[in-house]
Amino acid sequence: MILDSFRLDGRVAMVTGGNRGLGAAYAMALAEAGADLALLCRSDPQATAARIAATGRRVVHVPADLATAGPAELAAAVETVVERLGRLDILVNNAGIIRRAPAAEITAQDWDEVMTVDLDAVFHLCQAAGRLMLARGGGRIINVASMLTFQGGIRVAGYAAAKHAVAGLTKALANEWAAAGVNVNAVAPGYIATDNTAPLRADPVRAAAISDRIPAGRWGTPEDLMGVVVFLASDAARYVHGAVIPVDGGWLAR
């Protein structure tokens, strides 16, 4: 049955930033599809962990701060998942930060912090998880891109640069790892009501301009991303490699 190919029973997924927002939605989607979860985040994700546990799936918290963790610490985090849950089949690189300022005024610190979290940590986790998946002969890596993977945005030069790079990294890894059974893809959320977009939604002019351009007529919700993540993590997407899939209410088609 085709629906069986979407099941994730017996698999283990790690989601970065899984304590709230999109990360929590991704984690819940994977758990409801049958996967056990490791949530990599700074703070204890008690609420999300409780919801996952209620589905009957195992869940562990792997503490890490992507703003300061280097390659060795991130590789150790991947090893911790394997030690505690027995394996790692799915990696979702969700965590990200954004700094808003005119390009002429961006500080070096803000630029470096965005690149560290939104790009460097993504690569190092892909590399660590990818090594395991290559050795085993299969796995799924899902990076989180953005509308600013396709566009330049306003007052977010660092974020746009990092998210453009995430698409390039996704494609580069797919080219190298597809033949070994490791699927590397990305999902590009549109304008979603999360903490990251709170400043935009609080600006009546920008919020109205964005809403008016979305063909679906509304901002998205974290739940709108759940289906595509399950798809990319599952056997239903076994021939999907290097894709960047927009989930944007039609924004890019406008």
- Beta bridge partners of residue 247, listed in sequence order: 189
The backbone torsions φ and ψ at residue 198, rounded to the nearest 5 degrees and listed phi first, read -55, -45
Helix 121-136 × helix 157-177 angle, to 10°: 10
Contact between 85 and 60 (Cβ < 8 Å): yes
CA distance linking residue 248 with residue 243, whole number of Å: 15
Contact between 177 and 130 (Cβ < 8 Å): yes
- Is 191 catalytic? The answer is no
- b/e per residue, 126-145, with b = 16+ CB within 10 A? bebbbebbeeeeebbbbbbb
DSSP E strands, 44-181: 59-63, 90-93, 139-144
Query: Residues 26, 159, 191, 239: which is the catalytic one?
Result: 159
CA distance linking residue 227 with residue 30, whole number of Å: 9
Catalytic residues: 159
